[in-house]
Amino acid sequence: DGGITQSPKYLFRKEGQNVTLSCEQNLNHDAMYWYRQDPGQGLRLIYYSQIVNDFQKGDIAEGYSVSREKKESFPLTVTSAQKNPTAFYLCASSIEDWSSGANVLTFGAGSRLTVL
């Protein structure tokens, strides 16, 4: 079955450490995304990538970095510069709907990062 795999599901790290969250998709989607979810705040866009070797900052990119070396992979690094990294992180991918032009996102199951 096609889908998006995020790993790890749960991650604990000490303050000041960089951590990398994995996101792999086998849907052959061109675009990939990272969102952060905090209670009561919905989802906020961190980074997105429309094609390989290209990505754009979202609304809350500070303290995060990404790479897009392969179409199916879009890892997110949470750096020590991120002031409040404890959150639920969601990866998504999309393909443009041929009839409307809309990008319809498919989400992974998420990774919960807790910084101690």
Q: How much is the CA Rg of the chain, to the nearest whole Å? A: 14
Residue 100 is a binding residue for another protein (CB under 8 A): yes
**Can residue 78 be called a binding residue for another protein (CB under 8 A)?**
no
**What mask, x for binding another protein by CB under 8 A, covers residues 18 to 57?**
-------------x-x-x----xxxxxx--x-x-------
- CB 102, min distance to another protein, A: 4
Contact 63, 85 (CB under 8 A): yes
- Residue placing its CB nearer to another protein in the complex, 45 or 52: 45
- Examine residue 99 and tell whether it contacts another protein (CB under 8 A): yes
Nearest to 22 by CA among 35, 7, 3: 7
Q: Is residue 110 left, alpha or beta, with left meaning phi > 0 and alpha meaning psi from -120 to 50?
A: left
Contact 77, 84 (CB under 8 A): no
**Rule CB under 8 A: which residues touch another protein?**
4, 6, 31, 33, 35, 40-45, 48, 50, 58, 90, 92, 94, 96-97, 99-110, 112
